[in-house]
Chains A and B, each alone.
Chain A
Amino acid sequence: MAFEGSGKHEASKHTANSRGHDDPSSLGKLAGKEFFITEENIRKIEAHLQRFSEEDGSMAPQNAMMIDRLKTALAAGCPISGADASFYFHELYEASLMDVGIDYPEAHSLAFAEYGVSPFSVYAPEVVQSFPELFNSHWFKFWDLGGQ
């Protein structure tokens, strides 16, 4: 399954190790690459994340901030990379699998495997720092952030 800016990739196993974002394997097939994104795909991601909306119907704040980052890049006509690309492709792939009836745990795991990225790569360090209560020390270690 391929999306805007992605190619066909072979699956690889993901682990929970917080090896650090400088580790070449932490961003898998997305490492060192930039991708132009589309408004349509951002809308798909927003619709997908609404499935997991808060109990009051709102989107989780860390997801809302990642969506804002994507919209900012789109508006500026800039390509995305790193955590933004990891989040973008993870959500698109996860959504596509759940749309055909695959349950969340399976779709979530397959989305990491598809791009070979670390599970700690899907939220940007600025997001982790903005909501320190929502992330544990492994996330801070992965992004080389102090404060935890």
Chain B
Amino acid sequence: MRTLSWGFRKAQIWLDELPTWDFHTLEVVEQSRDASNSRNYKEKKCAIELYAPIGAIAYYGALGVTFTPQGRGRITVQVPISEDNGPLLDASLAGKTDEVHIGLPQEYAENILDVFLNADSVQQLGAGTLRICSGAHGTIGSSPWFFGALSRILTKLLLLEDTSASDESLIDFIRKELIQKGPSTNDVITNLGVQMNQIR
């Protein structure tokens, strides 16, 4: 496991290994699509725990995945769903700023599935099964967007040929996925109008 930090942000990354965040699975959501034959012939696994404060809130999430190559011309993504209040993860990167539970609530599954099915980097992996095998979420700081970002980071980590990649290159992977899109000009104008009316 590698520990990274930059600014106020912190990450733990597991390459070719996984953390032991076992949770009770209520159901497994599965989707698949066509894929080219796999270029990879061995199982891969990786995980990330990420803490990214922005002031009034600190984003938090953790996700682990395994990829098993198969020659059936399809990529299948499996996301296990847990209850919202699984076991507490006391030693999380969020520390006292959030209440972290092991597991993966339903509300994050759609973004995870979407990324793992559609990311360009996943197509480079080729046919096989991607199974989410571990996860943890913060009661305050987790969000669908953040789990999408974690998923995009994992798709890139799965393609790493060299697990001894430098801390700088791993941080670079993460930083690029943490840029949020702001509202459009029209959204801002509309919202300001609503706020002015409320204040009046």
Contact = CB atoms under 8 A, between A and B. Distances in A.
The yes or no verdict on A and B being binding partners is yes
Interface of A: 16, 18, 48-49, 51-52, 54-56, 58, 60-66, 68-69, 72-73, 76, 78, 87, 90-91, 94, 104-106, 108-109, 119-120, 122-123, 126, 130-138, 148
A58 B111 CA distance: 24
Contacts of B57: 62, 119, 122-123
A64 B196 CA distance: 16
A27 to B, nearest CB: 14
Contact of B175 (A55, A87, A104): A55
Contacts of A108: 53, 58, 97
A16 B139 contact: yes
Contacts of A55: 175-176, 178-179
Interface residues of B, number: 42
Contact of A56 (B107, B111, B142, B179): B179
B54 to A, nearest CB: 4
Given A54-B179, A91-B56, A104-B8, A137 B195 contact: no
Contacts of A60: 54-55, 180
Contacts of A69: 195
B56 A90 contact: yes
A88 to B, nearest CB: 10
Interface string B156-177: 0000000000000000000110
Nearest to B188: A68
Closest 5 CB pairs of A and B: A133-B145, A16-B99, A122-B56, A61-B182, A60-B54
A137 B142 CA distance: 10
A49 B55 contact: yes
A72 B53 CA distance: 26
Contact of B180 (A61, A66, A94, A122): A61
